[in-house]
Each structure stands twice: as C-alpha cells, then as structure tokens.
C-alpha cells in the first residue's frame, strides 16, 4: 500500500532581508490547493519547411503557490513578505532572496533556492458565504533540488 496523504507537510521559508531566520509554514487552506506547482515546460518544438522537427530549450523558473488560512500566522508572515518586496512611491523593496525547504509526510524534501515572491493579494477578500477567502502567494525559483526518503520496510 502506498500512502499519498499530504497531512503533515510543512515548509520553511527564509528571506534574506525580511525573514533571515525563516519561519515555518503549516497553516494551509481548505478552500484551495494548499500547495501547487504548475507544469514546467522543458522544451519547445517547431517544424521546418520539409517536416523536420526542430527542438530547443531555454531556462524556466520553478513556480509554486501556497494557499494559507486567512489571518493565520503563516498568512501574516507571507503578507509581510509580500509587502516588504513591493515597490511604490516613497517605498523601497526589501529585494529578498527567498529559499523554501518543503518537507513531505513521507520524509521527501524539496529545496527551492534563489527565488522571489511574485504575487499575492494585498487585502483578504470575503466570500459570498461570509468567510474570509484564503490568499494565494506565488513564488518563482531559479533552482530546485530533491531528496527522497529512505524506503520504509514493513
């Protein structure tokens, strides 16, 4: 039997200026996917005049999105990180270099490095059901490394 439960997942987020010591993220939402990473294109193709397939590659950033419980400690920390990296009149950006270590319940670890926060909602929305909406926070990274947990022997 293969257990694919996500219960127990956590992320450790460090940001070079705003959160140099990091913070643990464990406050995941129930009204959206707590962690998502879209498909990553690794090659492009085309066809020459006579039907020859052409292939090329170029670097792509690895994107991830967290959905967290509104007003939770994780939401407050991510909101702080988002605002610190926002630019505006009379405001400078923290220009954080962000790293995230993902720890899965089975012991697998994925480490995202040299990243930035891309987007998030500056204000929490309110749903028609009367509850605060979970806020998505999107990141992009230059690198990802993965390590697999040792197999469990029954």
Residues 146 and 154: their CA atoms lie apart, in Å, by 24
Domain ranges of the chain: 28-98+116-144
Task: For the chain, give the percent of residues with pLDDT over 90.
Answer: 93
Query: Model pTM?
Result: 0.91
Instruction: Evaluate if residue 153 carries a pLDDT over 90.
Output: no
pLDDT of residue 59: 92
Q: Render pLDDT for 78-133 as a digit per residue (tens, 0 to 9).
A: 999 999 999 999 999 999 999 999 999 999 999 999 999 999 999 989 999 999 99
Give every CB contact of residue 92 below 8 A, 6+ residues apart in sequence. Answer: none
Torsion from C-alpha of 138, 140, 144, 148, nearest 10 degrees: 10
Given a contact cutoff of 8 angstroms between Cβ atoms, the answer to whether 109 and 103 are in contact is: yes
102 beta partners: 11, 110
φ, ψ for residue 80 (rounded to 5)?
-60, -45
φ, ψ for residue 47 (rounded to 5)?
-135, 130
């Amino acid at each position: 039997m293969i257990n694919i439960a996500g219960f127990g997942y956590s992320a450790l987020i460090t940001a070079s200026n705003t959160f140099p010591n990091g913070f643990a993220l464990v406050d995941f939402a129930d009204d959206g996917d707590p962690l998502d990473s879209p498909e990553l294109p690794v090659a492009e193709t085309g066809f020459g005049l006579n039907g020859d397939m052409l292939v090329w590659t170029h670097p792509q950033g690895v994107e991830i999105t967290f959905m967290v419980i509104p007003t939770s400690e994780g939401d407050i920390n991510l909101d702080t990180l988002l605002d610190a990296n926002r630019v505006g009149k009379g405001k400078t950006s923290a220009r954080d270099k962000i790293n995230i270590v993902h720890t899965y319940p089975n012991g697998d670890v994925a480490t995202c490095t040299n990243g930035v926060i891309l987007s998030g909602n500056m204000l929490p929305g309110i749903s028609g059901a009367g509850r605060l909406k979970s806020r998505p926070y999107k990141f992009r990274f230059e690198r990802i490394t993965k390590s697999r947990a040792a197999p469990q022997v029954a």
